[in-house]
């Protein structure tokens, strides 16, 4: 049985609402360095540090243009411990995604 995952935006990094839970976040790759990838998530807010236990080689050369969905645990410090990464392409509408996430939180029975 798979665990439920909450979709989050940059705003959720600061609220603490999903700390310690499995989450899904979509964002644009800003930087990669060692075992840390930095993504600008959908929505207004800070960048997210993604801790990648296997390193950031899957992000190689995509800084500033690649979009990714990260599945992992949201830590209390606002970082995400990566479990899975999905490349979403080089064109992705983060504003539309943020609106969709807002709606899923407002009307969970519809989704």
Report the CATH number of the 6-92 domain: 2.40.50.140
pLDDT tens-place string over residues 62-92? 889 899 999 999 999 999 999 999 999 999 9
Short-list 60, 56, 84, 57, CA closest to 70 = 84
Q: What is the pLDDT of residue 2?
A: 66
pLDDT tens per residue across all 111 residues of the chain: 466 899 999 999 989 999 999 999 999 999 999 899 999 999 999 999 999 998 989 898 888 989 999 999 999 999 999 999 999 999 999 999 999 999 999 998 876
């Amino acid at each position: 049985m798979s665990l439920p995952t909450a979709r989050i935006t940059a705003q959720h990094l600061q609220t603490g609402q999903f700390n310690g839970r499995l989450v899904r976040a979509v964002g644009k790759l800003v930087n990669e360095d060692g075992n840390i990838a930095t993504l600008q998530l959908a929505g207004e807010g800070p960048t997210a540090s993604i801790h990648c236990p296997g390193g950031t080689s899957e992000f190689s050369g995509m800084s500033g243009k690649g979009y990714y969905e990260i599945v992992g645990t949201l830590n209390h410090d606002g970082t995400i411990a990566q479990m899975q990464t999905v490349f979403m392409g080089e064109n992705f509408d983060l504003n539309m995604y943020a609106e969709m996430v807002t709606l899923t939180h407002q009307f969970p029975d519809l989704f």
